[in-house]
């Protein structure tokens, strides 16, 4: 039993030495490291915060400027589309008068004077400078500078002379804006 007591005492002593070593070499350095305070340079932090704020303000201003430009472009585009739609609507009034002329006479008028409609400038308004009738009943909508001066939209009738069914087609010329807003109106 003496041997057991000596072995037991040796194990207890070894455990005590291990715990003291663990405390001294592991736990105390960890605690010391955790309790160390980190020095913060407030001037440097303030400078960094100002730089971040300046960059953020610049990014926001640039985004707002871009959004404003985009909205203005879209508003202008919508206004031009509305002017083109108004021009088509003004010219469409001629379709009925010309269809009646065709049904009464069996042919299309070859000029505005022959159609019996008011002077071409009478129909001016919006982006339209005049609306006239050309050869074979073609409606010619002349545009002003609200879309593009010199631009024209033509409404071209095609009639079946036996059934009197009339199909209208359009074409545009002299204006890139018309090509953009009336892609179905080829040349």
CB atoms near residue 100 (< 10 Å): 11
Q: With a cut of 90, say whether residue 172 has pLDDT above it.
A: no
Q: 117 by DSSP, 3-state: which?
A: coil
pTM, two decimals, is 0.64
Over the stretch 106-125, which tens digit does the pLDDT of each residue have? 888 888 888 888 889 988 89
- The full set of domains in the chain, from first to last, is 59-181 (3.30.700.10)
Q: Are 108 and 101 in contact (CB under 8 A)?
A: yes
Q: What is the mean pLDDT of residues 9-16?
A: 81
- Encoding tokens for residue 150? 């010199």
| Mean pLDDT, rounded, of the chain | 85
Query: CB–CB of 116/132 below 8 Å?
Result: no
Terminal Cα distance for the chain, rounded: 117
The angle subtended at Cα 81 by Cα 79 and Cα 87, nearest 5°, is 105
Helix/strand/coil for 73: helix
pLDDT tens digits, 39-56: 667 888 889 999 999 999
């Amino acid at each position: 039993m003496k041997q057991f007591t000596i072995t037991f005492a040796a194990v207890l002593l070894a455990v005590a030495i291990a715990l003291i070593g663990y405390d001294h070499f592991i736990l105390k350095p960890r605690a010391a490291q955790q309790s160390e305070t980190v020095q913060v340079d407030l001037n440097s932090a303030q400078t960094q915060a100002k730089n971040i704020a300046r960059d953020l303000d610049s990014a926001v201003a640039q985004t707002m400027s871009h959004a404003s430009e985009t909205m203005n472009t879209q508003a202008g585009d919508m206004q031009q589309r509305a002017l083109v739609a108004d021009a088509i609507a003004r010219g469409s009034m001629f379709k009925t008068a010309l269809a009646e002329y065709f049904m009464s006479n069996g042919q299309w008028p070859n000029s505005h004077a022959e159609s019996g409609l008011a002077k071409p400038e009478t129909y001016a308004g919006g982006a339209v400078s005049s609306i006239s009738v050309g050869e074979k009943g073609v409606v010619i909508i002349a545009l002003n500078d609200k879309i593009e001066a010199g631009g024209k939209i033509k409404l071209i009738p095609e009639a079946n002379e036996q059934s009197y069914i009339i199909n209208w087609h359009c074409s545009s010329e002299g204006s890139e804006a018309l090509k953009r807003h009336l892609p179905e109106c080829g040349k």
